[in-house]
Every structure is written in structure tokens, then in C-alpha cells.
Amino acid sequence: MRYKTYLILAALIVVLLWLNLTRPAFIDKIRPSIVDLLEFPLKTTTRSARGLYGLATFQNRYEKKIALLEQKVSSLSRANAQLKELFSENERLRNLLSFKSRFASKAIAAEVIARGQSSWDTFIIIDKGGEDGITTDMSAAKSDGLIGRVFEVGAGSAKIMLIDNPNSRISAAVQRTREQGALVGLGGGLCKLIYLSCDTDLKPGDIVITSELSSLATKGIPMGEVIKVVKEPHSLYASAIVKPSSNLFKIEEVLCIE
């Protein structure tokens, strides 16, 4: 409809120009009427053109402001993520310091730089080694409990065998009953407490800690929680499935304890 209007207007303008050039006798008589006839659509068209130009200019400015605001939002989001990460790291380090004050007179803090690829042979690699005072068989812990022991030391790095590793074995005790046993790894983030008495009073929820008989760890460090007690017929010992106190799949910083 809008295009038809423009075509009609263009046709009228062409007619007007033709009449002005040829100057027929009657043109002077009808000129005022023609001018009056064309004045309104011409003014309307002019206003519409100005309006469209203004709208296009406004839209362009609006889009630029939107793009600028999106950039600012993106920048603020990145800054917020960085602040959250710094806060989380600060919280973990405070917890490690609290752990050190309770269980270790001498400890070396380290960051995890790699992890064993095998889900069975679980270990991590830290950024501290012999040059930093790390030695073989040092205990390794997070703020919520023991995670393993150092089993290989290089000049600037070391490997820590996690407690769920099938090659791991640590003297342990049940916090509530004081019963002694050994905590061995099962892989997949689980451990097993073995060499328990057949008539053990162990229950799900009991806390397993490092034993005073252990030569690898300070006494009393939490290692895990009993989730299932196993008593097999004709067996000399009972056992229990233990879930480690620390999430072994989310380790970023550790304390290596002498």
C-alpha cells in the first residue's frame, strides 16, 4: 500500500513538471488547486522521510549501546568468576592451616599439577619435591582428612598414592570403639577396613582414623566413614566398606606431613 502511494505521488510530480514546462493556457487557472492538492502529501512524505531517518539513527545508537552493555556484562561476569575462585582458594588454604595446627607440627603445602590416568592405579602429582623437603612415605592430607602418602620423589615434584589405590595399606582405628585394623584401597573412591573382630560392634557412620600403630601417619587423622559392615560365614575376620573423608576426585592443594 505504501509503495502504491509513492507511485501515485511520483506520477503527480511528473505531471506537474510537464505542465510547468509546456505551460498550457489553463495551467495558470488550476495552478493553485494543484499546489493545494500536492502540498499535503509532499509535506507528509517529507515528515515520513525525516521520521524514518530519525528512527534509523535511533536504532543504530540503540544497537551500539546494547553492544557496549553486553561487553560490560561479560567483563563483570569474568571478574566475578575470578573473585569466586580466589575466595574458594582462600577458604581451602585457611582450612589447610587449621588442619596443620591440629595434626602437624611440620608440613609442606603443595598444589596438584597432574593426576594418574588410570581409574585403578590412583595417584596425583604435586609441584613440590626433594628440593622442597618432600620425602618418601610422608603422609598427604586435605583439610578434611588423609588422602594418601608420598611414594615417589623427584627434585621438583612428587607422586602421592591415594588411599583408594589397591596398593595402599595404612594402619587404622575406629574412633568410637578404638578397634584396630588396616585400611586398604578398593579403587573407584572407596576403601576397605580389614582385620576386624568377627564380633565387632562396628556400625555404618563410624569414623575411621589413623592409628597410633601407623608409621606413616600422625595418630587421629580422619580417613573415612563406614558405609557397610561385612561379616562373612566361616571367616576369621570381619571387614567394612569405607568412604574416604575427602573427595579424592577433587584435590587441588595438599599438606605433606612428616
pLDDT per residue as tens digits for the range 70-99: 777 777 677 666 666 665 666 666 666 666
**pLDDT range class, residue 7, cuts 50, 70, 90:** low
Q: For the chain, which domains are there? A: 107-257 (2.40.10.340)
At 171, is the secondary structure helix, strand, or coil? strand
Which H helix or E strand runs over 257?
strand 253-257
pTM for this predicted structure:
0.64
Mean pLDDT, the chain, integer: 80
Give strand pairing partners of 244.
Answer: 224
**pLDDT range class, residue 22, cuts 50, 70, 90:** low
Please state the rounded mean pLDDT for residues 11-28.
60
The phi-psi region of residue 73 (left if phi > 0; otherwise alpha if psi is between -120 and 50; otherwise beta) is alpha
- Among 141-155, 193-207, 214-228, 233-247, the minimum mean pLDDT is found in 214-228
Structure-model confidence comparison of residues 134 and 35, the more confident one: 134
Helices assigned H by DSSP within the chain: 2-22, 27-103
| pLDDT tens digits, 84-143 | 666 566 666 666 666 666 666 678 889 999 988 676 678 999 999 999 999 999 999 998
Beta strands (DSSP E) in 116-252 are: 123-126, 139-142, 145-153, 158-162, 169-174, 180-187, 190-196, 207-210, 222-230, 238-244
